[in-house]
Structure formats: C-alpha cells, structure tokens
Structure 1
C-alpha cells in the first residue's frame, strides 16, 4: 500500500491511539455527568408544558381554559402551590386528568416525575433560552489537556463529549477533508490535480496548519464560494424565476440572485446583508445594489387569477414578508399569530400586525398581469450600454424641449408683429374623432362587448334615449356611431345609455402612450354615484393590472390616470371638487406628453378644475400588451365597474393638448377670437414641427427604457398606510380605532424597539441586528453551522420558539453568536474558523459503540457525513464531465427536462418549456430556471425546494428514485459519457484510467476490491456492446453534445457505464 498517497487513510499506530484515549479519559473524568441532575425548567419542564399544556393554558387568551395560564410564573403560581397541577397530572379520572383525553395528549411517567421534581424544588421559572439576552462574553472551557482542540469552539465540543463519556474521532485524511471542505465552501468537488497539489504542500510545508489555512483561503477567494453560499439563502428568501400560484408566469428577478452571490463573494458584513435587504431603500443616498437588495421583500409569490381582489392579495404579500422575516432572521413562527395570539410563544396577534405595519407601506396593488410588465414599485437595471443610450435619449429630449420653447417664442413674436386676425375661431384642428349617437342604431355594433368577453363575442346594442334637457352645444359629428351620415339639425338629439357592463368601442383611434399629447371631450350625465366608474378607458384588458389611460369618476371626483402598473408606476390626478350629480356636463381631459402628473388637466364645462396629484412617477410604456382591448372605450373597463345608468351624448378626440381657449369654445359653442396659445399650438408651422420633434424624442426615450430589465423592490410611501389587527387574518375584517396599530416589535420579547431609530424598516433592521438582540446572531450562526455539519446546534432552525428543539451545545451557540458579532458579522471568518477546527476535521466514521451512543452525531464525536444537495450532485457531475460552464450571473437557463413539456402538462396556462442549447446546458445549477409549480424533476428528486415560501432547512431523503435519476437522466448519462471520454483520452493503461475516473468523482483512489469490481464491469460491458453495437450507438447519442469521433464506440460505451456506476456510489454522492 502506498501510505504516502493522500488518497489512502492515514496510518494510526495502536500505541498512539491507546495513549490518546487515556488522556481523554483523564480529561473527562472530572466533569462527568451526575446521575441525578438538577431539574431545569427551561431544559426539562418547559418542553413538556409547551407540548402538552400550552395550547389550552398558554399565551392565547381566546383558547385559554379555566383561566389558567402555565407559561407565566405569576399566573401559574396558585395552581402549582395548591397542588392542583400535580393532582391533575396524576389523576385517572377522565373528568379531572390533564391533559384531558379529548386532547389526544398524555404525559409519560418520566414526564410526570420530571414535573414532580421541579415542583418539589420550588417550581422556579426561567426565561426561554432563545429569548435570553446574548451574553456579553462566554468563557471558553479549559478542560482539554490532550491538545486536541485547535480553536475555541473545539473546547466547548470537547467538554460536552467528556460529560457524556465520549471521545473525538481521529482526524480525517487530508484528501477526505479537502473534498469535504471544497464542497462546503464552493459546492464543487476538488479535482485530482488539486488533491495532489494539497498533498504536496503538506509534504513541503514545515507548518501543516498553515497549509490547511492556505487551502481554505484559496476556496474562500473562489467565485464559486458565493455561488454555493447563495443557495441556502435563496431558499430562505423564496427566490424563484416564476410568480407561483395557478398561472406561474416567468419573471425577471434573477438580478437579486446575482446580488446575493456578489454579497457573499465580497464578504458583505452580515448585519449589512440583512439591513440592505430589509431597508436598503431607506439608507441615505442608497446605491443601486442597496435598492436591489430590497427585492428580498418582493420576490414572494404573486397571483394573477381573474377576479382577484387587490387588497386581499396585497395583504397576503405583506403577510409573506412578515413570515419570511420571522423565519429567516428571527427563527420564529410568526405566521401562528396572524389569526390569533401565538399558542406557544409570547407573541400576540397585535404584535403580529404591529410588525406587519413595517412592511405595509409600498405602492403596490397585490397582483400582476399577464403581460411582461414588472410589478411596481420597481428598479430599472440598465447595462452600461443601455445606460449610455438612455442618457443620450434624455439629452435629446432636453434639447427638443429647449427647441420647442424657442419655437414658441418665435411664434409669439411673429404673432405680435402681425395684425390680429378678426376671423372667429369655429373649427379646432387635429380632431381625430367625433362620435355622436343622433342617428338611431340600425344594427348591432360589432365592437360593443360584454365585460369578460372579447371582441369576438359581440353584445346586444346599448339603448339610446332622446336628449331634451342638455344645455350643452350640440356638436357636429363627422361620423355617427353606426357609420351613417351626420345628423341634421332636425334629427332628434340622442345619447347612449350605459349599463356598467357593456361599452362602446370608439373606432379608428390609435393607442395613447406616455409620449402622446391628446385631448378628449365628452358630454355626459352621471345618474348613479358609486365608488369608481369608468367613463372612458383605453387600457389593455384581459389583465389584472390594467395599463393605458382612463377617465373615471370616484365618489363624484374626476380622475385622469396614465399607468403602466397602477398604482406604483403611474401618473394621475383627481379633481378637488366633485362634479355636479345627475346633470349634463362637458368633461375635457388633456395630456401634454411630458410623463408628469402636471401634464394631465381636467375641465368641466370649459373651466379648468383644481386637482391633486395621485401618482407622479411612470417608467416605460403605458400601453404594453393588448390582449383583447387597447381601444378607446366608452362607459366600460374590462372586469370592472362602468358608468352604470350614465348617459353619453357625444365624444371628440384630438391628437394634441387643447388650449384653454379651445376648450372654452367647445363648451359654449360660441365663436371666439384666436389667442397666442391657440396660434402656437394649432397654427404656427414652426412650433407644430418642434412639438412633433419633441414627441418623437420622448418616444425614443421611452423606447430606450423599454429594453431595460427591472425588478420589483421596496419603495416606502411618503405617508404610511394605516395598519389594523385583522380578525382571523381576513383582509376585509371590520376595522375600527380599536384595531388600529402602530409600527412596533414584540411587547413581551426583548429588546424593545430602539428609541433612537425611526419607526420604519431601517429602524427594524437596526433592532434586529443590535448587539444585544437575543435571536438574530444565534439564528444566523446556527444556520451557518448546519451548512457544514448537516444540522445546526439547534436542529429546528426554523423555530427557536418554545416548540423548537433546545441547542445541543448552548454555551457554544452563545459563544459563536457573540464572536460573530464582535468579528463584524464576518461570514468568511466564521466559515474559516469552523472548517479549520478539530471538530470539523474529524473522520466521519462511527466506530465501535459510537453509532449507538450518538447515532445522529448530536454531540459531534465524529465528522459530518450526509448526502450532497441536489445542486452539488448535478454540479459534481458537470465538473467531472469537464463540461461545467463557468459563466456567472445573468438570466436563468433551461437544462434538460424529461417528457415532452412538463410545464404545459402541469399548467395549461404556462408557457412551453424551451430547453437551452449549447454551453448554457452546462451551467451551475444555481442558474437553472426555478419554476415554482414545476421545478426541475432531477433536482426535486434530491430534495430541492419549490421556494413557494421561506425554507431554512431542506428535507433529506433517501429513495430509489434518486438512483434511477443518476442512472437514467440524460444530464447524468451525458456527464458519464463525457467523463469516460476524458478518462480514455488519458495516457496509461485501463487500471490507471479507472483509478482517475474514480478519484475525479469520489476524491479518493479505489481499494483493491473496488478496482476488481470496476475492471470486471468494464469487461462485461465490452462484451455486451461488441455484441450489440446499436445499443452502444443509442447510449452515446444521448445529450446535445457529440461523442468524440477519435474513440472506439465500444470502448466509450463500456467506460460510460463504468462512470455511470461510480456516479451512483455513496462514495460519490455523500460528503464524508
């Protein structure tokens, strides 16, 4: 045996082993665990009460029985001291015993004895371990006289092992440690060359520990480090490339994923990592990355179901943010308090909604639509080239605006220098439609439709009524509703009566958009006042979040709005006074194309209304994707309330913003003299040409914006929304002054909200990352620890509350948390300290009685051993194949997927799955498309998450399906073939090639038995494929890459089967 090889187990002399064990025995003798240890309420009693009693006798007052509360000492004291508690838990009477039989709960004899001992000892209560303030310092045990400990954390582990009569395992071989640490830090396997190089450094170096540290530094500096560390956080952040729910449309949220990778690679301090995500937009002069990080609170699922209630889903989104914050940051099950006080933890329903108020004030509508629009508020993320193009377009707009102002000045000067015209103003130029209803309907209007139906489903015509009481001038339409000739003065004046469901589509009108100046004049009568009625709309219908322009009446107030996504990406104004009810009025709405709310004006009977700004920020196009609508429509908006019972006399549309003079003329019908404003807008050729050029420049700017990717982010509203306690969590629950809550943290959990911090998300982040906070640092280091050992010191990382498990090493957890804070929340330092520790470097084999004494490795008497994650297994195969594409960042890719089209099979509304081509097929699993309702099957087989909600601990299963995936999935078959090609292309004999392939996958050389098995398998497959060359050809044809033409097909097929077999071994897919 070549004992110098790094692939072989290190020799351990029997004498050395005996002596070291003797030292351990001496070291652990003094602190050995006493048989009758004092009962601890926190460790021994509270778990019993929480599990068996608190549901009826805990924090939730609504379900508390007998007015008995056992979670608080003062409340429980009388029942305990009177002996009632002891009597009830020992009673055999079904009417007296506790827990009662109907609860389906019972106490074991051991549990009863524990409670009895606690009562006899004085029934002292303790604060739950996770809610205690983090100690300012934690003394490191000094009991290790063997020299085993390499870091302070080892001293805690050694002391704990000693108390249990256990001893640490031998140190793992350098090769095994290197494979372990390479996967843990980068998610990739070490190459054979890296293993050899590390062994050589150990041989050449006079400082073994320095060689180990240098290897860790190399891995921490690799870009692969951030890619691997990001995976666990993306589970917690519920990051996915689709919105979820029934439609599960794809989104463009991948820039957040790339930011997380950068944050880990840059070693962003973890308190900043959290602060940026919780409240990056509220930092002073936030950078693009700080605003991008807040996508953490926006990448939850979104609904686009027809008929979805905006407020219901907006509050559902708020709840998701609260739950994610609670689980990912605090390790608490806050969702339990959404409908009632928490059954177990001291978190009231009022606490829940006080906390939710921090996440309740962004300008969102709660849903998304079927177009490619990004839900508002959003952040545009131009590339350098796009930013340059956009800047050039912005300057062109500024230049065009200046040119227009010059043209206006020139026009006014020309008008001043020439005698005024005595010709009265009768006609207004730039009219593109005049629609009247004076000619009775003679046929159905083909473009009239019921709400909820498309243009292919014409409705019955709307009725017309004669108008006899309108004081408004009778306009002279150029076309009537049914295309007949214009009516004469003798023709009865008619209006269409609307029913709130159907509308009249106005023919021949091009879409209004952000850059398009226009004016719309309508003579109307509102007969029923209601919350919101659409008078005229030009929106893309068939979608939840309308986009386009509309004129509405809301509780009697006129509103003119242009929007890409309402309300967060829009401009809009509302009149400060209500319009006259049940009277004929002429309403005029104008827009000048400047993309500001100031460009929207409203008039009634020729008089401009004073307005208030509703929204004043719009990006990209307004009218995005026309699914069924997009045409100017009178009295109806798809799946919304129209002008029920309202009357429309006539409508005119102009392709510019009319002047006050012109609007006054339309209202009175009187001929008036031309004014300078009218002359500039409607007559002067130079000014009109300058306006046309300005409009074109604005359109070019919007077109440049349209190409830029954007992502939903947090953007605090200027005035926070009111927040209420919602009865049973229902969005429409009755609200009153009694249910109103203010922003705050937990009433009965320390620390209180800091007095010197603002009551917003930035203050919340400061509260969560305060040095004395009992949860955040404990939760963080526990989850980081679990990433290396397969389980945290607290094995319920999602629940640090009373229903969660207690830490196996509480003092170690506190020491790690305090050390983490004092290091500046340095994740790389934490990782380095852990992987260089003697605890981590132990051999993972459970020798002797250790398998029984510590089956789950709770006490860390051996190194970690568990199956690799889904991402690690796929990336291992790609790396071994030599096809791993190192490209980093960017939109997701679509790797191999079984079946015809699982996306469409799982959801008929989903787009078809389009497999990537070329090198995109071989990118790291981090970059594979993550569709919530149809995750990649070969990843789900190995327990990847759908990421519909926050997950901080993946399941780890062992099923036959996993072996079938490794044997038959095209991704792994192609990888096996590519590895076989690499092996056959190497110099040497068959044995050396088999050894190299085995090392590439497992990180060690095969032993003699394994060599014999592999050689025998290879010989059998050679025979098989020589006899059946068609089978060889079929095997080698799998995958998009082409097999090498320089290799014998039989040899390649046989070696492919061997590599596939090794890929299936526990030695490959387990980390030991």
Structure 2
C-alpha cells in the first residue's frame, strides 16, 4: 500500500506548491512598486509641470510631503487610500482636453491610469530609488536546476561573481560563452589591468604554466606592475577634469603634474578608496598634513581660471566653486547635481537650497581666480625642505604647535594672504589685467575689512618700477591715521617680498585700509611706479627671548624669499576666520541675485552628516566615504566594471538617479559594493581582482 500512496502524496505536494506560486505571483502582481511602476510615469508624464522646475497649480510630485499637500485650488491631488476623491485620479480620467492631465499632451494609457489609481488605493507609498538605499550584504546565489528547486553544481563558475552571472544567464535562458583560450585571455586581462600587452617574460611564464594557479598569479603580477597605476590614473584624470592649461580665452599653462604623479602612486600603492577620496577633498585639513596631502587636493584645483583682462574675478571664483560641487557629485556619487543650482532636481530628491548648503563646504577656500593660481604649494629640494622643517620644529618646541603650523604653512604657500585683486576705490591706480594692483603718482585705493587684532607686521610682495616711491597705509580714510610708511626700493629680480611694522596704537579690530603712493620721478600721468601681489597681516615672529631666535628669524626670511629650484602646485586651503565668506542661495543659479544665507549641509535624502565632525571639507569627506552613503561605493564599483567590460552594471555612469539606466544586475552591484567597503577595506586592487 505504501507505494500506492507515494504518487498521491507527490500530486498533492505539487498542487500545494503550484497554488503557493500562483498566490505569490498574484500578490506580487497586484502590489504596485513605486520605483519600478509609478516613478517612471511621474518622470515621463508629470514632472515637467509638477516638479523641481515648476509646480503648476501649487502641486509638486517631487517629494511625498509636497504631493500630499493641498494644491492651489484647496483640493488634495492625492489622498492615500482614497483614489476616488483624489484630484489626480479625476484629472487623468477626464475626457475634456482642457481639464485632462497631462495638459496639452497625449492622455495616459489605460495601464498607466490603472497603476496610478491602484497605487493611491494602496496608500500612495513613496518607495525609495534603489541608488539611495544604503548598500546591504547580498547572499551569493547558489546554482540550481528544475525551476530553482534543486541545488546543483556549476560547470564553469569560479568565484562569487560567476555565480551571480550564472543566475542571470539562467533567468534569461542563456548559456555562457565558451572559455577563451589562454592567449586570448592573456591579451584581454593585460589590456584591462595595465592598458598594455603583458611583458614577454610574464606572457611566456603564464602560457607555459598549466596549473590552476597560473591565471591568479598572472593577475597578481599585472596588479603589481607600475603600469597598473598609470592605466587607472588615466580614468581618474578624466573625472578630475585634469589639464595642463587653465582654459578660457588665454588657456595659459598650469603646473599641476605633481597631482598626476600622486594619483599614479596612490593607485600603485592601493591606497584605500575612502582615504583616496578624503585626501583629495580635504587633504590640507588632515592633522599634520604632508606635502602629499596638499598635492592630493589639486583634484579640485583643476577648475578653469580666467586670466583674461576685464573679467570679474568673483564671478569666475564662484564658477570654480560650483564646478567643484558638480564634479564631487558626478565623479564620486554618479549624480547629476548641477541642475539643482537653478531649481530643485526635477527627478531626484534634492532641493534647490541643498545645493547651496553643499556649496558652502567649498566656498571658503583661498583661491580667487588669480593669474598666479594661489594658493600654491612650494616644493623645495630635500636640503631646503629640511631647513623649513627645522624652523617648524623650533617654533613647535619654543612657542606652540599652532604657531609652528602657521609659520610652516606660510613658508610653503605664502598663505593666508590678501590678494591685491580684492582692492577697490581706485584713484590713479588700477588692477593691471584685473590681477595685480598698480600705482601711478598720487595713487589711492582701499583694502576693505582687515582684521588688525594682534597684527603688528605686514609682509607683502611687490615690484617697483622706479626708485623714490613712498607707500603709506592709512586707517579708515585716505587722509586717516598713517599706520605704516614704506619706501619702495627696486628689487634685483623684479618681484620682492618685504615687511613693515604696523603702528596702530590702540586701534584694533576690523578696519578699511587706504593705500596711498607718491613718486615724483614719475613724469608721465600713465606711468606705473609700483605693483603689488599680496598682503599678509600677522604678528611679529614670537619667541625672541628663546635661544636661536635670531638665526631662525634670518632663516625664515631667507626661505620666504627663496626662488631657486622651487616648483609649485595649485592646492586647496581654507580661509582663516577673519576671511570667512558667507554662502547664499542664488536665485535661479544667478550669483548676482543672492537669497537666504545658508550653512554647510548635505541632502536630507541621503545619510546624515557625521555628528562628531566639523562642518568643513574634512567632515564632508567623512560623510562621502561613510559606509552608509548609498552612492560612493556603488559609483566606483560601476566605474571599475565599465573600464573592464565596456559597459557599467549601470550603463549611465554619471547618473545613478531615476532618469539613469536601471542596473542590469543590482544584486551583483550591491554585493561587490559591500565587499569593497566592508570586507576588502576599500581596496581597488582587490575589487579588480574579484571582477577579473
């Protein structure tokens, strides 16, 4: 009897299983998926009039709280759970073209109307787009057969990536391509990893090795090759908008090659990607920042500089800051954030004011569209660098670590100085080519809002064209109290760095300073007598009661004026507190029309800003490289995949948003991203090895 029951049990089991599958299918079919079904309709048919750019009728579908609010008519367009009384459902069903939505466009299809109606009936839940959900660990699929009911062994899968691909092939009823022969595989992997054919000795070794270890050893050798760093640096230089010239009309040259070399070294040393980004975004703000940390920040000095005469330096400084915002989002988070500078994003959850909160992180850097590209890191020979460090150590030991850092930074960068291009109120003076302050006879100009608190010394860089010139600094008005009188002598090599005492008596705090210049040797009205580059107000070098002070002071001035065998690199530096810039929302992206003031911040739709970090670029870098940031790891993994296979797992590399292409294999993208961050400690080489 037992054998007779077996077919019955099998039939009943199969029937129950079939009913379960049918129930799951029907349930899943009836439940509306916002991201997959509703959002595409909104983006394609509604958001143009009811989104970030426009909100006609007082109705916006960009954010859930806006969509559920009352419209201008006082009615609710969407009432969760009540489709019948929702104005949106009524409007998409109207026959009258003057009432029907979308207005003056083709009506929605029956299927689209059904989706929106059912979605509202089900509560109008606002699902999150896949790219804005934090990366989670995804189980590696096990190979199966018989409709996925029985586990099996794969005949070709070697690692976890293969299992994900095998599952997708199985779903599409496809077979894998035939295994490439060793010569073909050698060529492919060599070009993918180093951009070059494998060296003859490495190729011969691999082709002669028939062991299962041969391919892995080949990959390891290629990853260890110096050409690995060069190949992947080329990819990153494109993202960093690297160029050897500044752009715009003059397109003058720019010495920024040290940043290129930094990239090659970083890739070859497999610098963890979170550290790689942190140093480029905020290397100058790291504790005891090294020259290499400063050079890394040249990532955001690849912005264009306009050296053309007659341009507005503040306009192009602002343009550079916006470029840094847009590049940070596009290069590291695969997001089209640029349009948010004019209005809230029409498709993704980013508000207009959030753009300017993010911009505030970059708005207080020292660069000001100067022809010299200040701030510049000055790199000396090893012997001179040693002398600079000796001065730093003397101040650390005899004064304070803070003063040591200040002196060291000034010797290395000539910052934080006031650039002469910020002067105004000119009489017989002008900004030559909009870059340098030039004085004719009986000249006057103003330098606004200078903090003189504890400032007894002015260090300045100038060039005198005629002897006999006298430069005076007046307090608050052109004929105000004279706080410095400086005879300007001719320098042997043109530009010179000098200093003068500032005599302010009891005058401290913030003042407008008026510069006057006279030189009776200037016979023609249009002759320039002197030109200025920058002004640095500071205290006298402290420590004059300590041993070795005189020697250190002399060496300080010698090194400050040192101009032999000095190479420079544009770098990022923040303004000191007295030079702080306020940040504002720009109306429709126009830098001349400022709205409310904003403080640094990040979009609410992503991971929160770290509570233990200052609201500066270093804090921003920590936010960007947080394991809870849903975009950073996915974007880099997608870029690596695209470099190796020609197309990313998300085809639109620069747009992970709702208008970008959906991932062809989200589970694989997330598994690789999770491994990249949490298992392999952001190792790019391990990521490449996993994929190939």
* TM-score, structure 1 as length reference: 0.48
> What per-residue deviation string (whole Å, max 9, x for no partner) do you get for residues 920-961 of structure 1?
xxxxxxxxxxxxxxxxxxxxxxxxxxxxxxxxxxxxxxxxxx
After superposition, the C-alpha distances for 1:64-85 in whole angstroms (9 at most, x for unaligned) are 0122232444544553423543
1:826 and 1:34 map into 2 onto residues whose CA distance is 41
* Residues 788-834 of structure 1 deviation map (CA, whole Å, 9 limit, x = unaligned): 11111111121122222221211221111111111110000000011
Out of 354, 359, 370, the position equivalent to 1:356 is: 359
- Report the Cα distance in structure 2 between the residues aligned to 1:243 and 1:757, rounded to whole angstroms: 34
- Name the structure 1 match of 2:174: 166
Partner SS for 2:563: helix
**Residue in structure 2 matched with residue 142 of structure 1 by the alignment:** 142
Q: Which residue in 2 is equivalent to 1:223?
A: 226
CA contact (8 A) 1:297 1:321 kept: yes
Q: Please show how residues 130-279 of structure 1 align to structure 2 within 5 Å.
A: 130-135=131-136, 137-144=137-144, 145-147=152-154, 148-190=156-198, 194-202=202-210, 205=211, 208=212, 210-279=213-282
Shift of 1:187: 0.6
Aligned residue-pair number = 576
Please give the alpha-carbon distance, in whole angstroms, between the structure 1 residues aligned to 2:432 and 2:448: 27
User: Are 2:59 and 1:68 aligned?
Assistant: yes
2-structure distance, mates of 1:279, 1:376: 17
User: What residue in structure 1 maps to residue 435 of structure 2?
Assistant: 545
Distance 1:768 1:392 in 2: 36
**8 Å CA contact retained: 1:153, 1:812:** yes
User: C-alpha distance in 1, partners of 2:180/2:462?
Assistant: 60
CA distance in 2, matches of 1:573, 1:174: 78
Change (3 A) 1:547 1:579: closer
Write the deviation string for residues 741-767 of structure 1: whole angstroms up to 9, x where unpaired: 1111113x1312111111110000111
| Deviation string, structure 1 residues 846-880 (Cα, Å, up to 9, x no partner) | xxxxxxxxxxxxxxxxxxxxxxxxxxxxxxxxxxx
TM-aligned CA distance change 1:549 to 1:788, over 3 Å: farther
Q: Deviations over 1:337-387 (max 9, x none)?
A: 11222222221221111111110112222x243xxx3x1111112343664
Give the conservation status (yes or no) of the 8 Å contact 2:92–2:100. yes
**Counterpart among 41, 56, 68 of residue 49 in structure 2:** 56
CA deviation after TM superposition for structure 1 residue 532, in Å: 2.9
In structure 1, what is the equivalent of residue 570 of structure 2? 712
The change in CA–CA distance for 1:791 and 1:37 in structure 2 (over 3 A counts) is farther
Task: State which structure, 1 or 2, has the greater radius of gyration over its C-alpha atoms.
Answer: 1
Q: Residue in 1 aligned with 2:639?
A: 783
Equivalence for 1:762: 618
Cα shift at 1:769 = 0.8
Equivalent in the alignment of 2:629: 773
**Equivalent residue for 2:662, pick from 806, 814, 822:** 806
Match among 589, 596, 601 for residue 486 of structure 2: 589
Cα offset, 1:152, TM superposition = 1.7
Aligned match for 2:379, one of 378, 381, 393: 381
Aligned alpha-carbon RMSD (Å): 4.4
**Matches for 1:596-995 after TM superposition, within 5 Å:** 599-601=499-501, 704-719=562-577, 720-735=580-595, 739-747=596-604, 749-822=605-678, 823-835=680-692
- What TM-score comes out, normalization by structure 2 length? 0.73
Asked if the contact 2:448–2:511 (Cα under 8 Å) also holds between the matched residues in 1, the reply is no
Deviations 1:947-989 (A, max 9, x none): xxxxxxxxxxxxxxxxxxxxxxxxxxxxxxxxxxxxxxxxxxx
For 2:188 and 2:254, locate their aligned partners in 1 and report how far apart those are by CA, in whole Å: 35
What residue is the counterpart of 1:858 in the other structure? none
Residue 460 of structure 2 is matched in structure 1 by 562
Match of 2:77 in 1: 79
CA contact (8 A) 2:460 2:499 kept: no
Query: Residue 376 and residue 338 in structure 1: after superposition, are their counterparts in 2 closer, same or farther (change >3 A)?
Result: same
Alignment CA distance shift 1:222-1:547 (3 Å): farther
Q: SS at 1:332's partner residue? A: coil
| Partner deviation per Cα, 1:503-554 (whole Å, 9 max, x = no partner) | xxxxxxxxxxx9xxxxxxxxxxxxxxx98344676x9x75332168897442
**Shift in Å, 1:177:** 1.5
Residue 163 of structure 1 and its aligned partner are, at CA, apart by: 2.1
Residue number in structure 1 paired with 2:13: none
Bigger Cα displacement from structure 2, 594-603 vs 114-123: 594-603
Tell me the SS of whatever aligns to 2:436.
coil
Counterparts of 1:634 and 1:138, CA distance in 2 = 79
* 2-structure distance, mates of 1:800, 1:813: 12
Residues 473, 484 of structure 2: 8 Å contact kept: no
Q: Is the 8 A contact 2:279 2:293 kept in 1?
A: yes
Verify the 8 A CA contact 1:547 1:562 in the aligned structure 2.
Answer: no
**Number of the residue aligned with 2:398:** none
Q: Which runs of 5+ in 2 are unaligned?
A: 1-19, 69-75, 145-151, 393-413, 415-421, 453-457, 464-470, 513-520, 532-551
Given the superposition, is the C-alpha separation of residues 555 and 813 from structure 1 closer, same or farther in structure 2, using an over 3 Å criterion?
Answer: closer
Give 1:89 deviation, angstroms.
Answer: 3.6
Q: 1:288 aligns with which of 287, 291, 294?
A: 291
3-state SS, counterpart of residue 725 of structure 1: strand
- Superposed CA deviations along residues 611-643 of structure 1, whole A, max 9, x for unmatched, are 77999xxxxxxxxxxxxxxx97998798x99xx
Q: In the TM superposition, what is the alpha-carbon distance from 1:106 to its structure 2 partner?
A: 6.6
Give the direction of change, closer, same or farther, for the CA distance of 1:573–1:716 in structure 2 (3 Å limit). farther
Q: Is the CA contact (8 Å cut-off) linking 2:474 and 2:484 kept in structure 1?
A: no
Q: Is the Cα contact below 8 Å between 1:576 and 1:609 reproduced in 2? A: no
